[in-house]
Structure 1
Amino acid sequence: MHSLIVVAHPNPHSLTHAVASRIGDAVRAAGTGHTVEIADLAAEGFDPRFNPADNALFHQTAAAPADVAAEHARLDRADVLVLVYPLYWWSFPALLKGWVDRVFTQGWAYADTPDGKVTKKMQRLQVHLVGLGGAGAEMIERRGYGAAMKTQIDMGIFDYCGAQVLSSTLLLESDSGAAEAHLRTAADIGRTIGVSAAA
């Protein structure tokens, strides 16, 4: 099996990057031959802006732009997708949201049918979501942010395309000394993914 870990944070020394690396290390350490690729969207300079070429692809009047086609190929190689990101305004950062906007395209991730139904084309993909935030769990629950993110991300993106979200983890209070605990959780997530390759 092969995992693609996508990380979206501008600082390569951030806890977000450390969590992504720890997950990857734990997947490899499981010893099942499960391979890992880390896609650092900021370092790679991925352009998140949905542009006229993307619009043409949506309307099926042009082929995928080269950068989108490259991401399709990278995802086609993956059995597991892990997204690791900081929470910005209770969602993905713009860089990661733009990656989803441009890459999870009509005709590739899903297909609208003439009868108004949707064909889900990513059913083979297993997904793990890992969001890091500075707020505490009590505030997340009190304001309903956790449920809102599950509706928007887990259901609105991945279920729509047929991908199965196997875990959706919020690593909270990241600004107040929880880093070591979060890195241990990241290792647990990676071990779970790695062991699943042998199942």
Structure 2
Amino acid sequence: MHSLIVVAHPEPGSLTHAVANRIGDAVVAAHGSNSIEIADLAAEGFDPRFNAADNALFRQTAPPPADVAAEHARIDRADALVLVYPLYWWSFPALLKGWIDRVFTQGWAYADGADGKVAKKLQHLQVHLVGLGGADAGMIERRGYGAAMKTQIDMGIFDYCGARVLSSTLLLESDSGSADAHLRTAADIGRTIGASAAA
């Protein structure tokens, strides 16, 4: 099994990066044939701005821009896609949302049919979402943020393309001494992903 772990945080020393690395280490340790690739969007300088070339691709009047085609190839190589990100305003950071906007394209991730039906083209892909936030679980529950994020992200993005969200984890209270617990949870997530190669 090959897993693409996408991390969106500007600081390499952040807990977000540590969680991504711990997941990757556990995936590889779980089964000898497992492999990973970590896509550090900030370090790689991915441009999240949807531009005229992206719009032409959406209209199916031009091929994918080179950077988008490269991301398509990375995802095509993967059996599992793991997104690790800080929660900004109860959603993805702009960098990761822009990656989704530009990469999950018409014709590759999904196709609008002439009959109005959508062909879901990423049915082979297993998705695992790991968001880190400073709030506590009680606040998330009281305000309905967890359900809103599942609707927006799990259903609105991945289900639309046919990708299966197998786990969606919020690592909360990240600013108040929970780092060790979060890293243990990250290892558990990685072991679960990695063990599926042997199943």
Interval of TM-score (by shorter of Structure 1 and Structure 2) = over 0.9
What's 1:138 paired with?
Answer: 138
Q: What's the secondary structure of 1:181's corresponding residue?
A: helix
After TM superposition, give the deviation of residue 32 of structure 1 in Å. Answer: 3.2
AA matched with 1:24: G
AA matched with 1:117: K
In the alignment, structure 2 segments of 5+ residues that lack a partner are none
Partner Cα separation in structure 1 for residue 122 and residue 83 of structure 2: 16
TM normalised by structure 1 equals 0.99
Partner Cα separation in structure 2 for residue 110 and residue 31 of structure 1: 32
Structure 1 segments of 4 or more deviating over 6 A? none
Partner Cα separation in structure 1 for residue 194 and residue 137 of structure 2: 28
What's 2:180 paired with?
Answer: 180
AA matched with 1:120: K
C-alpha contact (below 8 Å) 2:5/2:36 kept by paired residues:
yes
Tell me the alpha carbon deviations over residues 110-161 of structure 1, each in whole angstroms, 9 at most, x when there is no partner.
0000011100000000000000000000000000000000000000000000
AA matched with 2:56: A
Q: Answer yes or no: is 1:170 the counterpart of 2:170.
A: yes
Partner Cα separation in structure 1 for residue 31 and residue 20 of structure 2: 18
C-alpha contact (below 8 Å) 1:32/1:194 kept by paired residues:
no
After TM superposition, give the deviation of residue 33 of structure 1 in Å. Answer: 1.1
AA matched with 2:93: P
Q: What's the secondary structure of 1:108's corresponding residue?
A: coil
C-alpha contact (below 8 Å) 1:7/1:17 kept by paired residues:
yes
State, as a whole percentage, how many aligned pairs show the same letter: 86
**How many equivalent residue pairs?**
199
Greater displacement, 153-162 / 25-34: 25-34
Partner Cα separation in structure 1 for residue 78 and residue 31 of structure 2: 18
What's 1:155 paired with?
Answer: 155
Tell me the alpha carbon deviations over residues 60-98 of structure 1, each in whole angstroms, 9 at most, x when there is no partner.
000000000000000000000000000000000000000
Q: What's the secondary structure of 2:43's corresponding residue?
A: helix
Partner Cα separation in structure 2 for residue 144 and residue 122 of structure 1: 28
Partner Cα separation in structure 2 for residue 31 and residue 73 of structure 1: 24
What's 1:83 paired with?
Answer: 83
Partner Cα separation in structure 1 for residue 92 and residue 35 of structure 2: 26
AA matched with 1:112: D
Q: What's the secondary structure of 2:139's corresponding residue?
A: helix
C-alpha contact (below 8 Å) 1:120/1:161 kept by paired residues:
yes
Partner Cα separation in structure 2 for residue 27 and residue 119 of structure 1: 31
Which structure 2 residues correspond to residues 29-48 of structure 1 after superposition, within 5 A?
29-48=29-48
RMSD: 0.4
What's 2:52 paired with?
Answer: 52
Partner Cα separation in structure 2 for residue 79 and residue 181 of structure 1: 27
In the alignment, structure 1 segments of 5+ residues that lack a partner are none
AA matched with 1:91: S
What's 2:100 paired with?
Answer: 100
C-alpha contact (below 8 Å) 2:87/2:132 kept by paired residues:
yes
What's 1:7 paired with?
Answer: 7
Partner Cα separation in structure 2 for residue 37 and residue 80 of structure 1: 11
Greater displacement, 26-35 / 63-72: 26-35
C-alpha contact (below 8 Å) 2:31/2:197 kept by paired residues:
no
